[in-house]
Chains A and B, each alone.
Chain A
Amino acid sequence: MQYFVQQMVNGLTLGSIYGLIAIGYTMVYGIIGMINFAHGDIFMLGAFVALIVFLTLTAMFYSVPVVVALLVMMVVAMLMTSLYNWTIEKVAYRPLRGSFRLAPLITAIGMSIALSNFVQVTQGPRNKPIPPMVSTVYNVGGISISLKQIIIVIVTVSLLALFWYLVNKTSLGRAQRACEQDRKMAALLGVDVDRTISITFIMGAALAAVAGTLFLMYYGVVAFSDGFVPGVKAFTAAVLGGIGSLPGAMLGGLLIGFIESMWSAYFSIDYKDVAAFSILAIVLIFLPSGILGRPEVEKV
């Protein structure tokens, strides 16, 4: 039982990170109906920005309080990745918005290849390790919970609260939901669609940057190729939860996190990704539009 709860805690941590990335996928999909393949690499960029900021901080000041360091890393990473995602949307997706469906998918894949190789070229192909930032571990009834895990869950929950407020209570969120339902009608009613879409990309990137910072803090290492696997898993999570649905993305992320940690704990660590992907296929056979997704009604 203790072991099970321990794995639950690990799964929760992992799931939070996946969920944060998945929200970016699902929001972009909801609003313009495209799979933003470059989102995984935006996450990786976020982790790299956090790494560079961390190194700058340690080089400039002898010792920085962890909380301050984490906050600065997160804020700078959010700003930088937002700028990246904003530029990418403007350059690579916006001109193709009226075009056929696969065109933006291909530019997104191209951007993903370009981004990861850009980081490889400019920062080198090696793994980049940092010394552990937080190493406190608490023992609660035989279950070890590290401070890192607590930080991840707290940051995720508070961000989700903020995010929920933004989407549900502000005029910006209302514009976003309007664009999601009917872009043309929203434009006719005076919603600046282009601006709303840009802001959606910025929000998605900011969440991915936080996920990247947390990833760096949790694992203590990042490489240029680290965007792909978490990206694919987060996208899987978004689809599992029902793409286009925000609670679905978080739920899917947590599910993927649990499946992974349980499978590695009880069966084999080698096949954890196979398990996650197989469960995705099985769920989709029975629920073709995900767990919380609205079934697509096609009118003839």
Chain B
Amino acid sequence: MANIAQATREASATPFQRGIKEALYAGAISFGLFFLFIGLRTDQNIRNELILVPRWGLLAIVVGLVMLGRFVYVAYGQPFMARQKIVNVASGLLPDSVATRFFKLPYFIASLVVVGLLMVFAGSLDGIFGPALAGYMRFFRALAIIYALASVMFYFRAFIQAHFSALGIGVLVAYPIVVVVALTLISGSMAGGFQGSLKWVDNFGIQILIYVMLAWGLNIVVGLAGLLDLGYVAFYAVGAYAYALLATQLGWSFWILLPVAGIMAAFWGVMLGFPVLRLRGDYLAIVTLAFGEIIRLVLINWREVTNGAAGISGIPKVSFFGLISFNVSDPNYIAKVFGIAQSGAYYKIFLYYLILGLALLTAFVTIRLRRMPVGRAWEALREDEIACRSLGINTTTTKLTAFATGAMFGGFAGSFFAARQGFVSPESFVFLESAIILAIVVLGGMGSLVGIAVAAAVMIGGTEILREMEFLKAVFGSDFTPELYRMLLFGMAMVIVMLWKPRGFVGSREPTAFLHERKSVSSSFTKEGHG
């Protein structure tokens, strides 16, 4: 009864009143949460003793922002979303969707004009607006470019959806070329174009593709076979150290060591697989987590071989199958072979295509394996282990092949990582990495390769973009470092995306085996991670 009475009272209150009430609640809770952590800061004084520095102003701002956000959401956001679902009585139609209201031709033209104007005056921005405002202007320009691109994509959305994979691969193949050409045009010289492309190809392209490949590899274990693995980074570490050690000690080439690293990682996958065969669900999760930690701790403590926490440096670069080298001192250095100017960008672009190839190999193998008996056995295992066993599937070999295949791709990615960095240390293989990879798999909608790639681009690309937000210094003062907030925002984004789309970005499945016709099913019909 109490519930009903409360419900009617809630309904009779206007959204504005409810907004005020909810904002007060949110303010009280956030004050409670933050007043010790934001209101007071522990700092060291000259005598190295801890003292407390009060920051009540900052606390007031944060609490105020929380209250404002909650108020706007309850008073305007929720009623707006409710209205979107109500059919107009006169026309019998639903209101225009937010996207069609947001992307309109006049806005598109306006954004093009803004981009054009700011591009033309790019050089003299500092002179006109002063350095602080110019930063805002560049940010504004970036927003306008993004908006224009998004409008184009929105206009062609049906076409993009129909040919997503082909278009995606096309964009990925063209990406470094486009970046170099665009930057050459902007800076006016080839050398400038290559130099400027370093950041875009390396920080965004290669970084995202490594995570795409790792997530696709983990997808075999978690998404297909349904075995929850929290220690995937261990195989990444095995691959990286296999390449680092064998290349520095024996001087073997990357192209020999790539399969070797894959085989070693797969071997460790089987080693992990054996003890956990009998475990289910969360017991499996904790043992894989423990396995990941054991590998990392051994790498730290086995100093004679791994050089401990200091890591291994001076790992040789990859060559183009031994024909073209990327070491400046070699006689077959790329610049000497082709007679062009020296630049570090060639190596990065080569690495970009290498990791793109490796990632596509992972996707190709996954797609083909799903059609083979072993792939079907994985998916059957994920759905129901007992039924699987009753039908005569050997669950032992099925689980072990899943672990081994997933681990092998982790090993490939690891050896690539070692070659790219030229340096490996246990610091790169912490649990956080496993968590990020798993999060990408789940956020992408487990089992969907496209969804996983999108999730990797959004999560990794999003946090990398924060490094570029220099203009924020103009807002928050010069000691403001956006990088510091990277992982905080990453964690919050994980929560928000999961709440918004609990089934991940791609929430439907195409079954691999079907009767008469192939129909997409909602992924709520599939079970996951139930080892």
Contact = CB atoms under 8 A, between A and B. Distances in A.
6 contacts: A51-B50, A52-B40, A117-B487, A124-B41, A270-B301, A273-B293
Interface residues of B, number: 64
A1 interface: no
A104 B432 CA distance: 17
B492 interface: yes
A274 B50 contact: no
A181 interface: no
In the A-B complex, the 6 residue pairs with the smallest Cβ-Cβ separation, listed nearest first, are: A110-B494, A114-B491, A113-B491, A277-B290, A117-B488, A270-B301
A228 interface: yes
A118 B43 CA distance: 16
Contacts of A118: 37, 488
B282 interface: yes
Nearest to A244: B282
Nearest to B503: A100
A285 to B, nearest CB: 5
B52 interface: yes
Contacts, number: 179
Nearest to A130: B50
Residues of B contacting A: mostly: helix
Interface residues of A, number: 70
A100 B524 contact: yes
Contacts of A112: 435, 491
B252 interface: no
Nearest to B277: A285
Given A83-B32, A113-B494, A126-B44, A121 B485 contact: yes
A236 B41 CA distance: 33
Nearest to B443: A106
B499 to A, nearest CB: 6
B282 A236 contact: no
Interface in A225-251: 228, 232, 235-236, 239, 243
Contacts of B435: 37, 109, 112-113
Contacts of B285: 35
Interface in B267-305: 275-276, 278-280, 282-283, 285-287, 289-291, 293-294, 297-298, 300-301
Interface of B: 29, 32-33, 36-38, 40-44, 49-52, 228, 275-276, 278-280, 282-283, 285-287, 289-291, 293-294, 297-298, 300-301, 386-387, 431-432, 435, 438-439, 442-443, 446, 484-485, 487-488, 490-495, 498-499, 502-503, 524, 527-530
A300 B275 CA distance: 25
Interface stretch (A91-99, A132-140, A163-171): A91-99
A273 B290 CA distance: 9
A232 B44 contact: no
B30 to A, nearest CB: 9
A92 B495 contact: yes
A87 interface: yes
Contacts of A35: 282, 285-286
B286 A285 contact: no
A80 interface: yes
Most buried by B among A84, A109, A277, A284: A109
A119 B37 contact: yes
Nearest to A37: B435
B42 A123 contact: yes
Interface string A273-285: 1100110111011
A271 interface: yes
Interface string A25-38: 00001000001010
Contacts of A84: 33
Interface in A45-74: 48-49, 51-53, 55-56, 59
A208 interface: no
Given A48-B37, A83-B32, A284-B283, A110 B492 contact: yes
Contact of B37 (A99, A101, A123, A270): A123
Contacts of A96: 498-499, 502
A278 B283 CA distance: 14
B280 A296 contact: yes
Given A101-B530, A107-B495, A110-B498, 20 more contacts: A51-B50, A52-B37, A87-B33, A92-B495, A96-B502, A100-B502, A102-B528, A110-B490, A110-B493, A114-B488, A117-B488, A120-B484, A124-B42, A126-B44, A274-B301, A277-B291, A277-B293, A280-B286, A281-B276, A281-B287
A289 interface: yes
B282 A29 contact: yes
A55 B51 contact: yes
A288 interface: yes
B386 A284 contact: no
A110 B503 contact: no
Given A83-B33, A121-B485, A288-B279, A102 B446 contact: yes
